[in-house]
Structure 1
Amino acid sequence: MKRKWTYSLVTIFLFSVFGFYFLITKKGNNQFFKCNAEIHFEISKNKSLIEANTSLLLASNKVAILDVKGIITKQGMDFNVERKVYFNYSRESEGGYYYFEILKEEDYALENSASDELFNEVMFGNKKSFYMSITPVGSGGFELSEMLFPVAICYTTRT
């Protein structure tokens, strides 16, 4: 009789552990990272400037979205920018970097006057892929390095 109770308790314990593991794994798959930044970036070689509010979202399905709303100025002319850029991303095993590859861009503003070429030149230096590190700096802030600009600080309300 004692053996039946012991086997029953061990079985219940194992099912509880597996259930707990499943819930943690399932919850972890629904997590995401979203970080917001105001950017001001100048490119002296082609006399371009971008001032924009940006939002970077890394979803658990290995798709990232960069939302950009602002103004690009080139040679004294202003161009409205409201775009979403979609990426595939993966975490590199060494160095804490992420690898981003552009999938597509979505021009969602009625009055978006920046051409695709100008946007890609100013935002990405005409690159289709790049590496970026995301380093916490405290109080919901993160440093983004080697992405759109040498270093940017973004903030998030969810850490």
Structure 2
Amino acid sequence: MEWLGDHLWAAWLVLAVALGVAEMVSLDLILIMVAVGAAVGALAAIASLPLALQVLLAAGSSTAMLALVRPNLVAKLHQGPDLVTGTKKLLGQQGVVTEELTAHHPGRVKLGGEVWSACPYDESTTIATGVTVEVFAIRGATAYVHPVGELMP
């Protein structure tokens, strides 16, 4: 028991390592925050602070890590680019008209290397062959497009 009193820093360090290893299994980012508190306790023990102060510093730093660091870390881990698949991926892309488009006669548009049936988004517009268009909507297998650079007639 006398050894433990002289080497309390080692006990804190073992606790920190054990909590770090346990975090690898849980992946909740809770045990690692408590492990940081145990590391602070180890530093306090190295500085020969009383045991009560070591415990208070360890508990305070663990609480601070859980309250201040963990929420931001979890938010960063959960954010990321949205995965856009299917026809939604075509929205906003530009293509070239390969067959004239009118509201009453759907034509063809080449989008991303594929040929799609297409209609003008604005039913009063006729879009000639060779015009660059942007996809505004996809309904079924038909792309609704508008000429690039012409937002208002």
TM-score (norm 1): 0.32
TM-score (norm 2): 0.33
Rg larger in 1 or in 2? Answer: 2
Query: Which has the higher relative contact order, 1 or 2, with Cα contacts under 8 A spaced 6 or more apart?
Result: 1
Q: When you count strand as a share of all residues, which structure comes out higher?
A: 1
